[in-house]
């Protein structure tokens, strides 16, 4: 009788794909990684894709490879996952927290322009495609007075959204994806970077594995040599071939999963519209439908009632500046919209295997919780 908040989607071919890697004798970064990178690049329509161990690592690698002076101020929304802001810090820079748009939950040219008036121009901007709402990096770059190669995109809630009619990340300088267990495309753990810039891709390829000029697989290829050099000290952020194989299997089913997500979203929209403030929809772009986020005054009490009715929900996100380690970051005291949202955002179950019946249970539990509350208020 209970509806989980999320259930990871693994493809039908997932188990066979993992066993094949096990039998192949090559389990770390190798042929499955190379094939996944090619296939994901084709899916996005992107020039270069690099698979890495996580989206957090992808963000840190990109922030490092921008070659900004140490301590550069980087705008980031506070309404994001804490790991994204940590990536800026670990790269040696200073996050400056900025507010988001009240309807779309993402940074917009207007919120960025306001942040520039408050804090001056940043050296770079990190944006979050929150819940799957697509962000146009070119518009953000322009508002910040920066070139496009100073915008790092957190597309952990993609893939599936579109920007200017193409897949989010297709024309990006630095688009970072997550393949964590709950994301639209899941490997358990994993990430990727998409970029149009070949030199940036080459640097990232070395930086993701200690800065080595050749990874182990390429050293063992016919004609490969045991010799390598390290020109720049990198991270250990490569992906195993087990995970890449899972990703390849998932990629085949992703369009079907995205269709199911869109259908579930349409039903929530249709059945909840009179009760709550619905999530904004981009037009004419496509939303990646990773999360279904509504706004509910008295959110904590409603969540508790839903839990009692067997419906698990979650919160995306606790604004970063409400977390102890981040509360004194620059900008933390000038986030009125994010502060309001932090009390009201509620994420409902949304995943391809969510059945019509279970979704019905979510809708009816939420309806009765909200009706009870409004009856108490009069």
Ligand X SMILES: *Cc1c(COP(=O)(O)O)cnc(C)c1O
Q: Which of 183, 231, 236, 263 is catalytic?
A: 183
Q: Is residue 60 within the footprint of ligand X (CB under 6 A)? A: no
Segments in the chain forming alpha helices (H) = 14-24, 31-44, 55-65, 82-90, 109-119, 137-144, 198-207, 216-220, 241-272, 299-308, 336-344, 356-377
Catalytic (active site) residue 183 = yes
- What number of chain residues touch ligand X (CB under 6 A)? 14
Q: Is 28 exposed, middle or buried (0-12, 13-18, 19+ CB in 10 A)?
A: middle
Cβ nearer to ligand X, comparing 180 with 196:
180
Q: Is residue 243 within the footprint of ligand X (CB under 6 A)? A: no
Minimum distance from CB of 244 to ligand X (Å)?
A: 14
Degrees (nearest 5) of the Cα angle 257, 259, 261?
70
Minimum distance from CB of 179 to ligand X (Å)?
A: 7
Calculate the CA 293 to chain-centre distance. 15
Q: Is residue 156 within the footprint of ligand X (CB under 6 A)? A: yes
Q: Scan residues 207-226 and list those touching ligand X (CB under 6 A).
A: none
The residue among 203, 236, 86, 99 whose CA lies nearest residue 154 is 86
Calculate the CA 95 to chain-centre distance. 18
- The rounded distance, in Å, linking the Cα atoms of 244 and 252 is 13
- Segment contacting ligand X (CB under 6 A): 25-33, 78-86, 251-259, 355-363? 78-86
Cβ nearer to ligand X, comparing 84 with 363:
84
Please state, as a whole number, how many other Cβ atoms lie within 10 Å of the Cβ of residue 267: 14
Please state, as a whole number, how many other Cβ atoms lie within 10 Å of the Cβ of residue 199: 10
Q: Is residue 54 within the footprint of ligand X (CB under 6 A)? A: yes
Cβ nearer to ligand X, comparing 84 with 250:
84
Q: Scan residues 105-144 and list those touching ligand X (CB under 6 A).
A: 128
What's the full length of the chain, in residues? Answer: 378
Q: What track of x and - describes contact with ligand X for positions 168 through 207 (by CB under 6 A)?
A: ----------x-x----------x----------------
Residue 248, token pair as written in the block: 């390849």
Q: Is residue 104 within the footprint of ligand X (CB under 6 A)? A: no
- Segment contacting ligand X (CB under 6 A): 53-61, 167-175, 195-203, 331-339? 53-61
Minimum distance from CB of 237 to ligand X (Å)?
A: 10
- The rounded distance, in Å, linking the Cα atoms of 169 and 281 is 19
- The rounded distance, in Å, linking the Cα atoms of 268 and 359 is 8
- Segment contacting ligand X (CB under 6 A): 52-60, 110-118, 131-139, 193-201? 52-60
- Segment contacting ligand X (CB under 6 A): 151-159, 198-206, 301-309, 331-339? 151-159
> Considering only residues 37, 154, 253, 358, which one is a binding residue for ligand X as defined by CB under 6 A?
154
- The rounded distance, in Å, linking the Cα atoms of 198 and 300 is 47
Active site residues: 183
* Residues at the contact surface with ligand X, assessed by CB under 6 A: 54-56, 80-81, 83-84, 128, 154, 156-157, 178, 180, 191
């Amino acid at each position: 009788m209970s509806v989980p908040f999320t259930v990871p989607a693994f493809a039908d071919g997932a188990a066979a794909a993992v066993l094949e890697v096990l039998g192949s004798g090559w389990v770390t970064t190798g042929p499955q990684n190379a094939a996944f990178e090619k296939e994901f690049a084709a899916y996005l329509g992107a020039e270069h894709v690099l698979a890495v161990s996580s989206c957090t690592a992808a963000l840190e690698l990109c922030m490092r490879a921008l070659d900004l002076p140490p301590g550069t101020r980087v705008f980031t929304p506070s309404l994001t996952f804490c790991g994204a802001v940590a990536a800026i810090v670990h790269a040696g820079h200073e996050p400056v927290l900025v507010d988001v748009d009240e309807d779309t939950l993402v940074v917009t040219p207007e919120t960025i322009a306001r942040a520039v008036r408050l804090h001056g121009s940043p050296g770079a901007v990190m944006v979050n495609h929150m819940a799957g709402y697509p962000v146009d990096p070119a518009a953000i770059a322009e508002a910040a007075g920066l070139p496009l190669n100073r915008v790092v995109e957190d597309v952990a809630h993609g893939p599936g959204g579109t920007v200017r009619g193409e897949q989010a990340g297709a024309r990006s300088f630095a688009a970072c994806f997550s393949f964590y267990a709950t994301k639209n495309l899941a490997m358990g753990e994993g990430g990727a970077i998409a970029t149009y810039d070949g030199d940036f891709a080459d640097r990232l390829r070395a930086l993701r594995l200690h800065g080595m000029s050749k990874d182990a697989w390429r050293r063992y290829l016919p004609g490969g040599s045991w010799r390598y050099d390290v020109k720049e000290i990198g991270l250990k952020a490569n992906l195993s071939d087990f995970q890449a194989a899972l990703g390849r299997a998932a990629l085949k089913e992703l369009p079907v999963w995205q269709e199911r997500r869109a259908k579930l979203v349409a039903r929530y929209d249709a059945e909840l519209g009179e009760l709550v403030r619905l999530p904004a929809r981009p037009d004419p772009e496509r939303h990646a439908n990773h999360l279904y986020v509504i706004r509910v005054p008295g959110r904590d009490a409603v969540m508790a009632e839903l839990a009692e009715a067997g419906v698990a929900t979650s919160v995306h996100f606790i604004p970063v500046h409400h977390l102890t380690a981040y509360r004194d970051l620059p900008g933390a005291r000038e986030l009125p919209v994010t502060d309001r949202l932090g009390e009201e955002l509620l994420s409902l179950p949304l995943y391809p295997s969510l059945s019509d019946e279970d979704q019905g249970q979510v809708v009816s539990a939420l309806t009765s919780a909200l009706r009870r509350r409004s009856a108490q208020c009069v």
